[in-house]
Amino acid sequence: MDESAAYYEHYLSTTQLAVVKTHFGDGLFTKCDANTGEQVIEDAPLIAYPLPARHYAHYATKGKTNGFCFTCLRMFQEGEIPVLCSHHSQQCLHTYCSEQCRDRSWLNGHWLLCLDWNRPAYAYIQALYSEETYSDYVVAEIIAGLISKTMIMVINGRTYEDAIEHVFKPYKMLFGFTNPVIYKVNLPQKYKKIRSLFQMSTRKLNFIQDEIPIEILDLFVCPEIHSYVMSLIAFNAVAIQDRGIGIYSTLSKLNHSCEPNCNVKFDERCDAILEIEKPVQAGQELYISYIDDKMDRNQRRKELQEGWGFVCQCTKCQRGE
């Protein structure tokens, strides 16, 4: 059994689901019959982040847009007072629904991207804000999370090698590449911005190097890791309604069909709930639609080709519908 198969066998051990290799890569299959409306798994995100346009607008308007939690993405109710970043003084406008979400964000690497805490890299962090889908800030956020989690594990006694392996493992199981071709994305140009940010951060925040040698940090900010993270976003990210985007261990294994038999719902905390849309039998593959499946075939295929790099061959497309 290879590493991916072993990982998902353990990860899905309490469900009736299995990850199986198909002609198109891994797919998610059901081990038992399931009826319409049945919920087959609830999956917490590896990472969830606001829509880049919402993040950008929040900072561009100095936090005057409709408030939301930067960790769980929950929209604030009218009159609700947000919890501010623990190092907020003037520039960091991240808001949270609770101290727990705030602290989780900090441990997940916000300290590297906090405009008030990481003042030496202020200009570099600001340069990452963008409304574009493949936001440089999101890439930096994922890499910062990897660095932060590794540092915490090393402080708690794990070896560098063990910590890095543990931190990377969930992401290694996803559909990613170190040399992806992403539609209208200039990877080398984007990498320069990310590299500059982390070079400035590690040079000025000397305490990082006391915990993790600079050679280890270089592993996180190399072109291969940057490209891999970009491909994770491009090929695995799921829209969480109009709130944000998430990357999930299980949902990443769902292949596309223009005639899906499942749909995904999200709770208040961004946990994804996979619900059966059409009755399925044991051993059948589960599908969702990556796009609006009500478009005509040419439109659907164009969007899938540009967004995910494949020409759809589902039964609906093969019928010419």
Q: 22-67 pLDDT, tens per residue?
A: 877 789 999 999 999 999 999 999 999 998 888 988 998 888 877 8
Residues 302 and 167 in one domain: no
Residue written as token pair 């805490």: 117
Residues 307 and 173 in one domain: no
**Four-CA torsion 224, 226, 229, 235, nearest 10 degrees:** -80
Grade residue 285 by pLDDT with cuts at 50, 70 and 90.
very high
Task: Note whether residue 34 is domain-resident.
Answer: no
**Four-CA torsion 288, 72, 168, 85, nearest 10 degrees:** 160
Task: Note whether residue 150 is domain-resident.
Answer: yes
The predicted model gives 1-9 an average pLDDT of 80
Specify the DSSP class assigned to residue 91.
S
Tokens of 274: 């996979």
Task: Note whether residue 147 is domain-resident.
Answer: yes
CA–CA distance, 170 with 302 (Å, rounded to integer): 31
Task: Note whether residue 287 is domain-resident.
Answer: no
Residue that terminates a domain, selected from 194, 216, 239: 239
Number of residues written out for the chain: 321
Q: Name which of 165-169, 218-222, 279-283 the model is least confident about.
A: 218-222
Residues 222 and 302 in one domain: no
Residues 220 and 155 in one domain: yes
CA–CA distance, 120 with 203 (Å, rounded to integer): 9
* Closest residue by Cα to residue 251 from 49, 42, 51, 48: 42
Residues 202 and 74 in one domain: yes
State whether the Cα torsion 246-251-252-257 is positive or negative.
negative
Find the helix or strand (DSSP H, E) in which 234 lies: helix 223-236
Residues 81 and 171 in one domain: yes
State whether the Cα torsion 235-241-245-248 is positive or negative.
negative
Identity of the amino acid at 80: E
Which residues touch 46 (CB under 8 Å, ≥6 apart)?
170, 171, 246, 247, 248, 249
Task: Note whether residue 133 is domain-resident.
Answer: yes
Residues 126 and 191 in one domain: yes
Domain around 308: 296-321
Residues 141 and 207 in one domain: yes
| Collapsed DSSP state (helix, strand, coil) of residue 249 | coil
Task: Note whether residue 10 is domain-resident.
Answer: no
Specify the DSSP class assigned to residue 119.
G
- Distance, CA of 201 to chain centre: 23
Grade residue 263 by pLDDT with cuts at 50, 70 and 90.
very high
Number of structural domains the chain divides into: 2
Task: Note whether residue 173 is domain-resident.
Answer: yes
Q: Are the CB atoms for 197 and 140 separated by under 8 Å?
A: yes
The 10s digit of each residue's pLDDT in 70-97 is 999 988 988 899 999 988 878 899 999 9
Task: Note whether residue 23 is domain-resident.
Answer: no
Residues 174 and 59 in one domain: yes
